Amino acid sequence: MYQKILIANRGEIAVRVIRACRELGVRTVAVYSEPDHDALHVRLADESEAIGPAKAAESYLNVQAILGAATRHHVDAIHPGYGFLAENSHFAAVCKTWGLDFIGPEPETIERMGSKTAARQRMQQAGVPVVPGTPGACSEEEAVAFATEAGFPVLIKASAGGGGRGIRVAQTPDELRAAFGSAAREAAASFGSPELYVERYLSSPRHVEFQVLADRHGHVLHLFERDSSLQRRRQKVLEEALSPRLTPRLRAEMAAAAVAAARAVHYVGAGTVEFLVDGDDRFYFLEMNTRIQVEHPTTEMITGIDIVKEQIRVAANEPLRIGQSEVEARGWSVECRINAEDPDNRFAPSPGTITRWSPPAGPWVRVDDGAYPGYTVQTHYDSLLCKVISWGRDRPEAIARMSRALAEFEVEGIRTTLPMHRRILADPDFLAGLYDTGWLENTFMARGAQRA
């Protein structure tokens, strides 16, 4: 096992990784930007080092500064968390040349899955169904030809996109043509590649993703699924494990496809295979995220497996110590992402100093956060402030616990998405498990507007 790990991240995920290291008896090194000098991840780590100013490009994305800190602190490995450098195959490769383990899959795997077009091709070869679309990156003419043949509406997607960005809907050939050029320019500017492709826009799908875990000794496990269909602007808001949408039979089929997907790219570590499920129980590979995910705690709650610890163990070459038949899904778990955003003002970022911070506790409630009273929320970074996760013997109990927990939660000084979560948890459609990827924005938000 490693002696010391550097965590190349901030906020709740840096704290989460430090906690796993502590339990494993591994020392930790935090890195931080100027405004983060007093952040929780810095306080909790054994050692820390400043790596630059607030701007992420000059700190949390500053490869030279991070590797410099890793060398000075004599670490064995780097954990990238999610976002920032987590899916940067170049960074993963450079770590190797510096004699450091990157806690994640091989650089080639990250690269192969980082391009949505390359990933789709690989999955088709492996027999995993993908959303019908152009065979690879396409020109405007090829996009129009595909859409005319397959039918509108279609989505234009950036091959290198992520975080819900770089996706556009086109209802007609004219819309498709009008959007294509600017989408390519935007993709080049945001993701460093102008490559676009087009796929069918499924109406009212569910987003269901499978957590996988694989070691360097040929073992691949799935840890069941999460439903991440509650989204705003294609970004996840609330997740649950399991998915109320799946039948046991569909669950088994999708789990097998997720394991096949991981095997096809010789996956090592923790990863997520994302699928869309349509109204006829057909499922389609969407993408694979080659990192720890925001919503991983829900899976930890139902399986009892510490995914971050396993991620570190397999990076250190240890074999997984359990087989598939020992992975059991017990009960139900829900996660609410609490963002520093103002739900009454089109979810505008709400930076500022937290004057009161009283997170919930009590039976079967977990809070993953990086905040505390007096903490100042920055505009430079992701607005995710905290995650509340509940467990119950069944879905109604997990939801009731979450409602109780959010009722206890007090935050003052900034605006948060807490009020929206409280309303979702009381919504009859949500309680019945009847929602799709469009429900939150189209049905739920429209109801709020009517009431206001």
Please identify every residue annotated as catalytic.
291
First to last CA, the chain: 56
Quick one: which segment of 44-52, 176-184, 198-206, 309-317 binds ligand ADP (CB under 6 A)? Answer: 198-206
Which one of residues 111, 199, 300, 341 is an interface residue with ligand ADP (CB under 6 A)? 199
Sheet with 27-33: strands ordered across: 47-52, 27-33, 4-7, 77-79, 101-102
Q: Decide: 339 and 385 in contact? Cβ < 8 Å.
A: yes
Residue 416 touches which member of Mg ion, ligand ADP, none, C-beta under 5-8 Å by kind: none
Which one of residues 143, 437, 439, 444 is an interface residue with ligand ADP (CB under 6 A)? 437
Q: Do the strands 27-33 and 47-52 form a parallel or antiparallel pair, or are they unpaired? A: parallel
Residue 5 touches which member of Mg ion, ligand ADP, none, C-beta under 5-8 Å by kind: none
Residue 199 touches which member of Mg ion, ligand ADP, none, C-beta under 5-8 Å by kind: ligand ADP
- Give the Cβ contact number of residue 324 at 10 Å: 13
- What token pair was written down for 14? 């840096």
Quick one: which segment of 131-139, 221-229, 273-281, 338-346 binds Mg ion (CB under 5 A)? Answer: 273-281
Task: Please give the C-alpha separations between residue 39 and each of 53, 191, 375, 411, in angstroms, as whole numbers.
Answer: 14, 29, 8, 18
* Closer CB to ligand ADP, 163 or 279, in the complex: 163
Q: Decide: 10 and 33 in contact? Cβ < 8 Å.
A: yes
Cα-based angle 295, 300, 303 (whole degrees, multiple of 5): 135
Quick one: which segment of 119-127, 227-235, 360-368, 419-427 binds ligand ADP (CB under 6 A)? Answer: 227-235
Per-position x/- string for 225-264, each x denoting binding to Mg ion as judged by CB under 5 A, each - no binding: ----------------------------------------
Q: How far is the CB of 92 from ligand ADP (least distance, A)?
A: 15
| Total residues binding ligand ADP (CB under 6 A) | 29
| Side chain identity, residue 388 | V
- What token pair was written down for 164? 């819900």
Count Cα atoms within 13 angstroms, Cβ side, for 61.
11
Per-position x/- string for 259-298, each x denoting binding to ligand ADP as judged by CB under 6 A, each - no binding: ---------------x-x---------xx-x---xxx---
Q: Decide: 207 and 437 in contact? Cβ < 8 Å.
A: yes
- Tell whether residue 201 is a contact of ligand ADP (CB under 6 A): yes
Q: How far is the CB of 354 from ligand ADP (least distance, A)?
A: 20
Residue 202 touches which member of ligand ADP, Mg ion, none, C-beta under 5-8 Å by kind: ligand ADP
- Tell whether residue 232 is a contact of ligand ADP (CB under 6 A): no
CA nearest neighbour of 258 among 324, 193, 317: 324
Which one of residues 122, 207, 232, 251 is an interface residue with ligand ADP (CB under 6 A)? 207
- What token pair was written down for 392? 């119950």
Count Cα atoms within 13 angstroms, Cβ side, for 293.
28
- Tell whether residue 82 is a contact of ligand ADP (CB under 6 A): yes
Which one of residues 122, 226, 236, 401 is an interface residue with ligand ADP (CB under 6 A)? 236
Q: How far is the CB of 408 from ligand ADP (least distance, A)?
A: 25
Q: Decide: 111 and 89 in contact? Cβ < 8 Å.
A: yes
Q: How far is the CB of 385 from ligand ADP (least distance, A)?
A: 12
Q: What is the 3-state secondary structure (H, E, C) of 358-389?
A: ECCCCCCEEEEECCCCCCEECCCCCCEEEEEE
Quick one: which segment of 33-41, 46-54, 135-143, 202-210 binds ligand ADP (CB under 6 A)? Answer: 202-210
Q: Decide: 366 and 420 in contact? Cβ < 8 Å.
A: no
The strand ranges marked E within 173-307 are 196-200, 206-214, 220-232, 235-241, 269-277, 283-289
Per-position x/- string for 343-382, each x denoting binding to ligand ADP as judged by CB under 6 A, each - no binding: ---------------------------------------x
- What token pair was written down for 186? 């935007």
Quick one: which segment of 25-33, 199-207, 299-307, 308-316 binds ligand ADP (CB under 6 A)? Answer: 199-207
Residue 436 touches which member of ligand ADP, Mg ion, none, C-beta under 5-8 Å by kind: none
Where along the sequence are the contacts to Mg ion (CB under 5 A)?
274
Where along the sequence are the contacts to ligand ADP (CB under 6 A)?
82-83, 131, 155, 161-164, 167, 199-202, 205, 207, 231, 234-236, 274, 276, 286-287, 289, 293-295, 382, 437
